[in-house]
A and B are shown apart, each in its own frame.
Chain A
């Protein structure tokens, strides 16, 4: 995208409605964003170039047709002419569009080549999509890894609470990347095809199970950038947003250190909890919280599920029979059929809590209490 074209586009934009043009900081209701990277700006400019060429073509063609509809009507006396071919004209209107296409293809090709060059990255993030959340891992700081789930409350979705400003575009743990550095994303999936999309970076790449794809960006401005999954992936396809926070490199480093420290502490905490027992109250409270975040979408708030796809937990053999406690724990850790594995997403005490909750809620009332060390035993193959 060269300077001249950018200038021309700039001039055209100056004439257009300010609602149509958009700046990096603003989001437009009508148009693509310019975004926050050099590439996203190139993409935006290319889009506007294409748009205006199409507008001009449309205006010319429709203009001729509307003129004809007015001037060549029978009711005002027009008599039909006799021609029905003209080789010169036909050649012209075959060649001219062809030339216009070449004019479009050239900047498109250069931008594309730039976009697909992922070499010499400063930071690499491994992005894994699954039903229905994202997982991020910092390749060079592998202790820093976490799931990123939709944070909007179910009650907002079900119209019981007012919807917040970032309704459906907020997560519990956003991805954090540095500005001014080349950040590479290695994208894959754990189950079906998802697609990782951040409009402000002009990145959209499919997450294919068993395969990795790459994309990169270099963000110019710190800020919070929101995107969504862009490939139908099942029930909650519309409920797995992408949120990326870009921080200045110094802030980013500080954040990364803090995260590593937190990850260390969390591991130690896990070990400590292994020797502790939580009370029934603690288990039920925490269990319900986990259930409402991670399980309710499929198994429903009343434990009734949506059989046969999502079995009921209320009154189910797995949740009621004592000999099924190991199976119950194992299913949550490893998943089964269409149920995803939560072993990496939930800590041992969280799993213990949610199993306890499921075994005692909705009238199940088994009185069973599962502790972190029970979960630990299952993980270690007891």
Chain B
């Protein structure tokens, strides 16, 4: 591919964006009012990292209480608040904003666009998030405590048997939803309308494809969450009976509505990860991504299928056999396109020329560990056995494998991969390798034994457990503390990188890296592709 850039201000090879200094405000005002996709990407990523640490601290409280049988540290009601808010923060405050931050940084560069389509809405999309989480976190300090009904907030626990903090919870979720919807609209419009000439759909990097599809999912299902959460609010405060049998309602209907959002939501949290891995593996294999077209179709199939499997979260609610069969088969089906993607990554590596820099190490860890999570998901799909797995630690193991060693590892991989492009300096590789190995080992000590205690009969969302689960819980907690500490290595590394400490890097940074973002200087200038490149 040849690119021609007509405008010389675009890529000043001395690496300065000196001409633009006078346009960029300094200090707090810069960050408050920025409409620049790179700045907003940075804001999202920092926000996500801070929320990751806060949500992680809550997980530390959970694991500290579960270190031994008996109640040592917290009351059960507070424990339930921890599990609830940990889930909400990790889903809506860490993973989703991190992927959005990556989208902001990378999508315009990858398609040769100067910025996102709607830069001012972009600023709003970000800044309402800290506001939303301030509300959620402050609800923990209310009389009666914060939300304690699980991130899935089933009725009537959330409607008739909850505290007043439910109102703040609802308000907070509404704001998060609006942020996601605005972000998704921005992504779709940008990708649809602002690709550089010659960048056809089937030439877009897979990260752009996966985000395009993710954005459509967001637009489709975040409003359903808004509906569900509003119905909870009105049932609780305004006398409606959506989920109250006494008034003719049905608590199981809540679950249908919630999971109609909830299942596509988990694909929203993994599709961008697939895009990241599809960018990293070819680079360090020095070989094109195997089966690009299949990867696109597989992603689209996963997204479509995600709409018809929601009730696999509800196998024990008392569904008729025909429905259980349908959801079992449909859920099993999703493993086919997912498997295709895994095979394609491995085929990309096959007969490549592999090197194992830190991004590649995280990507390989992702492939193995996400696949383990996917396989436990396949086991969960089998209805008669799901009766034994449902609401046990087996499920907790499954979703933490796909979300932590899946989504979170992919985010870390992405940060390691693109950080030199953003800062112009290579990060501290020693720290990075320590971060990787400590995280890899501790995360498996943390989550793998959960499969066993779940199978052995330990339910989820309990602050105390029977004695036969004690040994594994002790190890799980140790793994948890170690994993938490390991992230501090990452924190130090990021701070160092942001202070531009390190060796300068070239435009391409990694031998084998291909794509528009690797053809501009490192660090990427404040404004890129003001004139679109021509792609042949």
Asked whether A and B interact, the reply is: yes
- Chain A residue at smallest Cβ distance from B380: A50
Question: Which listed residue (A82, A84, A206) contacts B318, Cβ 8 A?
Answer: A206
One of A9-17, A25-33, A135-143, A344-352 contacting the partner:
A25-33
A203 in the interface (beta carbon within 8 A) = yes
Beta-carbon contact of B325 and A112 below 8 Å: yes
Question: Which listed residue (B70, B252, B321, B364) contacts A156, Cβ 8 A?
Answer: B70
B363-401 interface with A by 8 A CB criterion = 364, 367-368, 371-372, 375-376, 378-379, 382-385, 387-388, 390-392
Beta-carbon contact of A73 and B350 below 8 Å: no
Inter-chain contacts of B336 with A (CB < 8 A)? 94, 97-98, 101
What's the minimum C-beta distance from A224 to chain B, rounded to whole angstroms?
14
Beta-carbon contact of A80 and B287 below 8 Å: yes
Question: Which listed residue (B368, B382, B462) contacts A46, Cβ 8 A?
Answer: B382
Binary flags per residue of A142-181, CB closer than 8 Å to B gives 1, else 0: 0000000000000011110001011111000000000000
What's the minimum C-beta distance from B236 to chain A, rounded to whole angstroms?
12
Binary flags per residue of B284-317, CB closer than 8 Å to A gives 1, else 0: 0111111111100000000000000000000011
Beta-carbon contact of B455 and A105 below 8 Å: no
Binary flags per residue of A23-61, CB closer than 8 Å to B gives 1, else 0: 000011111110000000011001100110010011001
Given contacts A211-B252, A232-B157, A338-B161, contact A163 B70 (CB under 8 A): yes
A214 to B317, CA, bound (A): 10
Beta-carbon contact of B464 and A168 below 8 Å: yes
What's the minimum C-beta distance from B379 to chain A, rounded to whole angstroms?
5
Beta-carbon contact of A210 and B246 below 8 Å: yes
B124-168 interface with A by 8 A CB criterion = 143-145, 148-150, 154, 156-157, 160-161, 163
Beta-carbon contact of A211 and B318 below 8 Å: yes
A95 to B79, CA, bound (A): 46
What's the minimum C-beta distance from B148 to chain A, rounded to whole angstroms?
8
- Chain B residue at smallest Cβ distance from A229: B459
A281 in the interface (beta carbon within 8 A) = no
A73 to B360, CA, bound (A): 12
B456 in the interface (beta carbon within 8 A) = yes
A334 in the interface (beta carbon within 8 A) = no
Inter-chain contacts of B368 with A (CB < 8 A)? 62, 65
Beta-carbon contact of B245 and A209 below 8 Å: yes
Inter-chain contacts of B350 with A (CB < 8 A)? 64, 68, 72, 81
A142 to B252, CA, bound (A): 29
Beta-carbon contact of A85 and B293 below 8 Å: yes
B178 in the interface (beta carbon within 8 A) = no
Inter-chain contacts of A202 with B (CB < 8 A)? 384, 387-388
Beta-carbon contact of B456 and A28 below 8 Å: yes
Beta-carbon contact of A209 and B375 below 8 Å: no
B452 in the interface (beta carbon within 8 A) = yes
Beta-carbon contact of A232 and B324 below 8 Å: no
Inter-chain contacts of B163 with A (CB < 8 A)? 308-309
Inter-chain contacts of A213 with B (CB < 8 A)? 317-318
Binary flags per residue of B451-469, CB closer than 8 Å to A gives 1, else 0: 0100111011111111110
Binary flags per residue of B75-105, CB closer than 8 Å to A gives 1, else 0: 1110010000000000000000000000000
B119 in the interface (beta carbon within 8 A) = no
Beta-carbon contact of B353 and A78 below 8 Å: yes
A229 to B384, CA, bound (A): 18
Question: Which listed residue (A78, A90, A166, A203) contacts B466, Cβ 8 A?
Answer: A166
B59 in the interface (beta carbon within 8 A) = no
Inter-chain contacts of A203 with B (CB < 8 A)? 387
Inter-chain contacts of A28 with B (CB < 8 A)? 455-456
Question: Which listed residue (B321, B391, B455) contacts A30, Cβ 8 A?
Answer: B455
Inter-chain contacts of A206 with B (CB < 8 A)? 316-318
Interface centre among B149, B245, B344, B459 (most CB of A within 10 A): B459
Beta-carbon contact of A97 and B76 below 8 Å: no
Beta-carbon contact of B290 and A84 below 8 Å: yes
- Chain B residue at smallest Cβ distance from A109: B325
The number of residues on chain A lying at the interface, defined by a beta carbon within 8 Å of a beta carbon of chain B, is 97
A74 to B333, CA, bound (A): 37
A343 in the interface (beta carbon within 8 A) = no
Beta-carbon contact of A61 and B371 below 8 Å: yes
Q: What is the total of A-B residue contacts with beta carbons within 8 Å?
A: 291
Question: Which listed residue (B291, B324, B378, B387) contacts A85, Cβ 8 A?
Answer: B291
Beta-carbon contact of A116 and B340 below 8 Å: no
Inter-chain contacts of A31 with B (CB < 8 A)? 452, 455-456
Given contacts A209-B245, A232-B150, A308-B144, contact A84 B379 (CB under 8 A): no
Inter-chain contacts of B118 with A (CB < 8 A)? none
Beta-carbon contact of B80 and A192 below 8 Å: no
Inter-chain contacts of A101 with B (CB < 8 A)? 332-333, 335-336
B interface, size bucket: 35 or more
B111 in the interface (beta carbon within 8 A) = no
Interface centre among B150, B161, B245 (most CB of A within 10 A): B161
One of A235-243, A247-255, A270-278, A287-295 contacting the partner:
A235-243
Inter-chain contacts of B328 with A (CB < 8 A)? 105, 108-109, 112
Beta-carbon contact of A72 and B354 below 8 Å: yes
Inter-chain contacts of A236 with B (CB < 8 A)? 76
A75 in the interface (beta carbon within 8 A) = yes
Beta-carbon contact of A43 and B161 below 8 Å: no
Beta-carbon contact of A47 and B379 below 8 Å: yes
Inter-chain contacts of B526 with A (CB < 8 A)? none
B251 in the interface (beta carbon within 8 A) = yes
A327 in the interface (beta carbon within 8 A) = no
A192 to B154, CA, bound (A): 9
B240 in the interface (beta carbon within 8 A) = no
Inter-chain contacts of A115 with B (CB < 8 A)? 384, 387
Given contacts A208-B317, A213-B318, A234-B157, contact A73 B353 (CB under 8 A): yes
Inter-chain contacts of B294 with A (CB < 8 A)? 85, 90
Question: Which listed residue (A81, A166, A230) contacts B459, Cβ 8 A?
Answer: A230
Inter-chain contacts of B459 with A (CB < 8 A)? 197, 228-230, 237-238
Beta-carbon contact of A85 and B292 below 8 Å: yes
Given contacts A168-B465, A192-B161, contact A69 B321 (CB under 8 A): no
B437 in the interface (beta carbon within 8 A) = no
B449-501 interface with A by 8 A CB criterion = 452, 455-457, 459-468, 471-472
B200 in the interface (beta carbon within 8 A) = no
Given contacts A54-B379, A108-B382, contact A90 B76 (CB under 8 A): no
Question: Which listed residue (A27, A83, A94, A209) contacts B468, Cβ 8 A?
Answer: A27
Beta-carbon contact of B382 and A93 below 8 Å: no
B329 in the interface (beta carbon within 8 A) = yes
A149 to B149, CA, bound (A): 22
What's the minimum C-beta distance from A336 to chain B, rounded to whole angstroms?
13
Contacts A/B (CB < 8 Å), 18 sampled: A27-B456, A29-B472, A31-B455, A32-B456, A46-B382, A54-B375, A68-B349, A69-B356, A78-B353, A84-B288, A89-B347, A98-B336, A101-B332, A109-B328, A112-B325, A116-B324, A210-B251, A232-B150
In addition to A47-B379, A68-B346, A85-B293, 8 A-B residue pairs with Cβ atoms within 8 Å of each other are A32-B456, A72-B354, A78-B351, A85-B292, A90-B291, A93-B339, A94-B336, A108-B383
10 smallest CB-CB distances across A and B, nearest first, come from: A210-B245, A238-B462, A213-B318, A84-B288, A54-B375, A81-B351, A230-B391, A80-B353, A80-B286, A74-B353
Measured CB to CB, the residues of A under 8 A from B are 27-33, 42-43, 46-47, 50-51, 54, 57-58, 61-62, 64-65, 68-69, 72-75, 78-86, 89-90, 93-94, 97-98, 101, 104-105, 108-109, 111-113, 115-116, 131, 156-159, 163, 165-169, 191-193, 195, 197, 199, 202-206, 208-211, 213-214, 227-239, 306-309, 338
Measured CB to CB, the residues of B under 8 A from A are 69-72, 75-77, 80, 143-145, 148-150, 154, 156-157, 160-161, 163, 245-246, 250-252, 285-294, 316-318, 321, 324-325, 328-329, 332-333, 335-336, 339-340, 342-344, 346-356, 364, 367-368, 371-372, 375-376, 378-379, 382-385, 387-388, 390-392, 452, 455-457, 459-468, 471-472
